[in-house]
Amino acid sequence: MQNKAKYTFWGKAILFALLLVFVVRTFWVESFVISSPQMEDALKEGDHVIVNKTAYGLRLPITPLSVPFTFDNFFGWQSYSTSLQWPYRRLGGCKIPVNDVVVFNHPLQTDRPLDKRTLCLGRCAAQPGDVIEVDGFELYVNGRHYQVSPDFRLEYSLPMQWKDSALHVLHQLKLPEKNLMAKNNRLSISMNRLEAYLLQEYLPDSLLKMGSNTANAKYKITIPRKGLKIKLDMQNRNVYAYLIQQEQRKSATPRGEKLFLNGKILEEYTFQDNYYWLLSDNQVKGIDSNHLGFIPERNIVGKASFIWWNYSREGIAWKRIFSSVK
């Protein structure tokens, strides 16, 4: 009888602990492992980061029939059922402050439930209602130049014959050799602006910013805000068409000079959700609003708050443990 009472006690204790962990992970904070370099050096591969799910309002679960404490794909099996999906709801909420590092669900994976899409990272550069102007690598928000994070990385190149000199300077200054490789008869390297400035001081007129899909982009547009009515024209209709289609769950098709919603001409539209412009610190390896477009508020999971552990192929980075995400 004593053994039975002992097992019953420990069984209840374990169940209570699991329930408590489940509630905390679902409604308050959750730990995620960084598996990509898209936010280097603010977040590095191997960082275990605490995400505060209440920072911008608590998004309630959408897919309740899920196996807890497992990945969405568990040994080749889907660990959740789509037979029951609750509508999107967020308790409370506030604007995401500029420069916060945010975890969000991929906005283009519409074949999956919202809360089961791939998780991405981005730094908030512009808020709902802001007017952004993109000019190549530069971003202007409401007419003001956006000051990127000191960790913001671009791809630079220098003549191949300067390889030995560049490596000598990098070693002398103890600068990292990020993504160093030969490309189009030039030496390519990923650097933040401080690193590029220091290398340029030693090797004047050596560095060039390398082109990307956004290097020649040039446009100006308003970030939709909930309740904001926007007139649709030739300049913005293609950008807004996808957002309208997702909000209305109807076909939105540009045709000629007009936008058709479910076969009817749409000349203006009042948006039903807030949207953000989120950027990766690492433009060489990152996926952000330059590739995904506006990020809906409904896709926001929470704020990446602090790093509680780090372990990667290079070992444990003790200096990163218990550090805040900046």
pLDDT of 181 over the 80 cut:
yes
CATH 3.30.1120.130 given to domain 2-130+223-228+271-324: no
Helices 193-202 and 163-173, interaxial angle, to 10°?
A: 120
For the segment 130-134, the average pLDDT, to the nearest whole number, is 96
What is the domain partition of the chain in residue ranges? 2-130+223-228+271-324, 153-209
Distances (CA, A) of 180 to 163, 189, 284, 286: 10, 5, 12, 17
Instruction: Identify the band that residue 215 occupies on the pLDDT scale cut at 50, 70 and 90.
Output: low
Predicted pLDDT at 216 = 67
* pLDDT single digits (tens) 67-116: 888 878 877 788 899 999 999 999 988 999 999 999 999 999 999 999 99
Q: Concatenate the DSSP letters of all residues of 300-322 into one string.
A: EEEEEEEEEEE-BTTB--GGGTT
Predicted pLDDT at 14 = 87
* pLDDT single digits (tens) 219-264: 899 999 999 999 999 889 989 999 999 999 899 988 877 899 998 9
Indicate the pTM of the whole model: 0.88
Q: Which amino acid is at 239?
A: V
pLDDT of 187 over the 90 cut:
no
How far apart are the C-alpha atoms of 46 and 37, rounded to whole Å? 10
Return the ∠ at Cα 143 (arms to 140 and 149), rounded to 5°.
Answer: 35
